[in-house]
Amino acid sequence: MYKNIIFDLGGVVVDFKPRDFLMDHFLNKSAEDEVFDLTFGSKEWEELDRGVISRGTANRLMLENAAERGRTFEVQAVIDEWQSILHTNKRTVKTMCKLKLAGYRLYYLSNIPQDVIDEIYAHMPNKDKLIEKLAEMYNEPIISLMEEPEDTAKNVDWMASW
């Protein structure tokens, strides 16, 4: 029986639908596609997502590429407003609550860029207590993940894709 369940934040706990965002802003399929390629679908966004470059560097490079294609205004709008597309997936949260009540241990996985974490953190009350709780929460799972499981019959093989 499973005891631990890991949820990815982006696209699972938090909806992330950049195409819908672009459609609402530009109402023009070719503009939407071009701006998507310059932002959310760009090499810079992928590197930002992987933590290889900073938000400032990614924004600068996306704006340079946008200028070459005459899309500076549109890309700047995405840079300024993209966080508005992040919404909690209520169905997932409801399922998570049921799982927690049933005794499962729930964990989160995310590759949220540092600037977003900093902004969330800046608006949080009781930061010291949060850090204490996070240390408590993550020490035990990390240690347990390093141990061999007792029941290996139901293990799933996987391979990282990055």
Distances (CA, A) of 92 to 2, 18, 96, 111, 112: 18, 19, 6, 19, 18
Higher pLDDT, 40 or 100: 40
pTM of the model: 0.67
| Nearest-angstrom CA–CA distance, 50 and 111 | 7
Say if residues 77 and 25 touch (Cβ distance below 8 Å): yes
- Averaged pLDDT for residues 10-35: 90
Cβ contacts of 33 within 8 Å, gap of 6 or more: none
Span of 3-17, 114-128, 135-149 with lowest mean pLDDT: 135-149
pLDDT at 50 (0 to 100) = 85
Q: Is 105 helix (H, G, I), strand (E, B) or coil?
A: strand
Q: What angle do CA 45, 14, 8 make, to 5 degrees?
A: 80
Contact between 33 and 122 under an 8 Å Cβ cutoff? The reply is no
Q: Does the structure show a pLDDT above 90 at 40?
A: yes
DSSP helix/strand/coil, 4: strand
The pLDDT tens digits of the residues spanning 6-15 come to: 888 778 888 8
Name the pLDDT band for 77 (thresholds 50, 70, 90): very high
Is-contact 71 35, C-beta < 8 A? yes
- CA dist list (Å): 15 to 73, 90, 141: 25, 9, 26
